[in-house]
């Protein structure tokens, strides 16, 4: 496992409105050095879901909860 801080981050900004369907947007996350699937992030109307590669249940955060975390 590599040590130290992560040096690469992805930042996306969308300046045009678009419709999110029921399934939302799915982003597959890969490990940089191991070339291995790390997990999947789903951005939906209801919130954000993280499904790790070996996780049995996804972790869900609603937009209201995310707003509370951001304001704290």
**CA-CA distance, 42 to 25, in Å (whole number)?**
6
- For residue 20, being part of any structural domain is answered with no
Q: According to the model, what pLDDT value does residue 27 have?
A: 79
Question: According to the model, what pLDDT value does residue 44 have?
Answer: 84
Distance between CA atoms of 70 and 64, rounded to whole angstroms?
10
Domain that holds residue 46: 25-71
Could you tell me if residue 12 is inside a domain?
A: no
pTM reported for the whole predicted model? 0.59
Within a domain: 10? no
Residue 55 lies in a domain: yes
Number of domains in the chain: 1
Query: Strand 37-43 and strand 47-52: pairing?
Result: antiparallel
Rounded to 5 degrees, what are φ and ψ at 48?
-115, 140
Does 53 map to a domain?
yes
Determine the 3-state secondary structure of 42 from DSSP. strand
Report if residue 5 sits inside a domain: no
Query: Tell me, what's the pLDDT at 19?
Result: 74
Q: Decide: 26 and 41 in contact? Cβ < 8 Å.
A: yes
- Kindly report, residue by residue over 19-72, the tens digit of the pLDDT: 777 678 887 877 776 677 788 888 888 888 888 888 889 889 898 998 888 887
């Amino acid at each position: 496992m590599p040590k130290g801080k992560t040096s690469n981050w992805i930042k996306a900004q969308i300046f045009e409105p678009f419709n999110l369907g029921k399934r939302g947007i799915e982003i597959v996350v890969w490990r940089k050095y191991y070339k291995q699937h790390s997990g999947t992030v789903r951005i939906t109307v209801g919130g954000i879901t993280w499904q790790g590669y070996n996780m049995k249940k996804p972790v869900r955060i609603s937009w209201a909860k995310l707003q509370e975390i951001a304001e704290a």
